[in-house]
Structure 1
Amino acid sequence: MASIRHVCRVITTVVLLSVLHEVLEVHAKNFEDVRCKCICPPYRNISGNVYNRNVTQKDCNCLHIVDPMPVPGHDMEAYCLLCECKYEERSSNTIKVTIIIYLGVVGALLLYMLFLLLVDPLIRKKDPYIQPLHNEEDSEEMRPTPEAAAARANTMLERVEGAQQRWKKQVQEQRKTVFDRHKLLS
């Protein structure tokens, strides 16, 4: 159990450090939540370009965003008419919270999977009522009594195991009838 705790602590530490790294990296880049983005196509001998700037919505046009202007003064209007400018808003805090929740859920599911992988062998014990399929003669001697079967059918896992046992019993009976018929026919 000490190794399980150690693995859980290591995984938790790695997840927290990665989330902290991402948050610090976002703050280091100093992203803004609003921007004006102008996409200008190629014009004459000038290649196309994308311009971004943090301005208010009323100033979101080619004249305020495109700097330096790649064309001389008399072609400026024609160039700006080709450019498509859009004002964009986003909430970086909402994005951060969503990513942290997503990483938390994925981390929790990974921890749960590790827990099940480590604890499942301890939960499943060798059931004396399980019969090997090849041992058909002893199958009627090892059947549990109805009282024992009712006492075991308390949890969902035990119910599923009971259904598996009934299915295995039906398969054994089908095999017996097929092999008996085969012996009778030959």
Structure 2
Amino acid sequence: MYLKYILIFLSGVIIVTGQSYEDKRCKCVCPSPAAVLNNTAGSDRRLYIANVPPNKCNCDGVILPRVGADIKGREQEFCPRCECKYENRNTTIIKVVVIIVIWVIMLLVVYMGFLICLDPLINKRAKASYQEHTNEDDESTVGGPSQPMGARGNVLNRVTHQQDKWKRQVREQRRNIYDRHTMLN
């Protein structure tokens, strides 16, 4: 069962590492060439991305090679309206952080499964060592000589005793309210 999830995870890591992402790029946002040619103040903006060195991250290095024919002769009017930014990011760190987050989530899921499997074992042992008392108000019998005096067993017995006592009280209250239509004092 876990082998299937591990294989899915590993194939996802291989696919992510197999992709080619650019760590350095130049991103320019400009108006559309039609807005410059028609002298309209439209809000239509276009995004141009190129992999160029930082000194070529400008209108001449990124935009004009792509739209030079469209705005021939009007470059001085078009280029000042463009905003170019050189971006540098480290995709390796991003991948490592994502893998760490996925591993933490997987560890938490495994821990939750461990606790779910462990819960019935603890409750079974606690109920096997517990002997029901006839007098619910007598708190001195919880740590009496018939039960183990180890600190762990004593605390566990107290907790399960209080839990069972509370469950019995709730059952009694429900019975009185729904069956007998009376309230407990």
* TM-score between both structures, scaled by the size of structure 2: 0.68
CA drift of 1:164 comes to 5.9
Count of residues in correspondence between the two structures: 160
The one of 60, 67, 72 aligned to 2:57 = 60
Matched to 1:146, the amino acid is: G
User: What is the CA–CA distance in structure 1 between the aligned matches of 2:111 and 2:166, rounded to whole Å?
Assistant: 35
CA drift of 1:31 comes to 1.6
CA drift of 1:77 comes to 1.5
The one of 39, 50, 73 aligned to 2:47 = 50
The one of 141, 159, 170 aligned to 2:155 = 159
CA drift of 1:95 comes to 0.8
- Contact 2:28–2:84 (CA<8 Å) still a contact in 1? yes
Match of 1:16 in 2: 10
| Secondary structure of the corresponding residue to residue 97 of structure 2 | helix
Match of 1:111 in 2: 110
CA drift of 1:168 comes to 6.2
Match of 1:37 in 2: 27
- Contact 2:27–2:87 (CA<8 Å) still a contact in 1? yes
User: What is the CA–CA distance in structure 1 between the aligned matches of 2:46 and 2:91, rounded to whole Å?
Assistant: 26
CA-atom RMSD, angstroms?
3.4
Provide Cα deviations, 1:86-139, integer angstroms capped at 9, x if missing partner: 0000001101111111111111111222222233222321525375xxxx9553
User: What is the CA–CA distance in structure 2 between the aligned matches of 1:39 and 1:73, rounded to whole Å?
Assistant: 19
Percent identical among aligned pairs is 28
User: What is the CA–CA distance in structure 2 between the aligned matches of 1:31 and 1:100, rounded to whole Å?
Assistant: 17
| Secondary structure of the corresponding residue to residue 87 of structure 1 | strand
CA drift of 1:147 comes to 4.3
| Secondary structure of the corresponding residue to residue 75 of structure 2 | helix
User: What is the CA–CA distance in structure 2 between the aligned matches of 1:130 and 1:16, rounded to whole Å?
Assistant: 51
User: What is the CA–CA distance in structure 2 between the aligned matches of 1:51 and 1:89, rounded to whole Å?
Assistant: 16
- Contact 1:130–1:165 (CA<8 Å) still a contact in 2? no
- In the alignment, structure 1 segments of 5+ residues that lack a partner are 1-6, 182-186
| Secondary structure of the corresponding residue to residue 74 of structure 1 | coil
Matched to 2:122, the amino acid is: I
* TM-score between both structures, scaled by the size of structure 1: 0.68
Match of 1:90 in 2: 89
User: What is the CA–CA distance in structure 1 between the aligned matches of 2:102 and 2:77, rounded to whole Å?
Assistant: 48
Matched to 1:139, the amino acid is: E
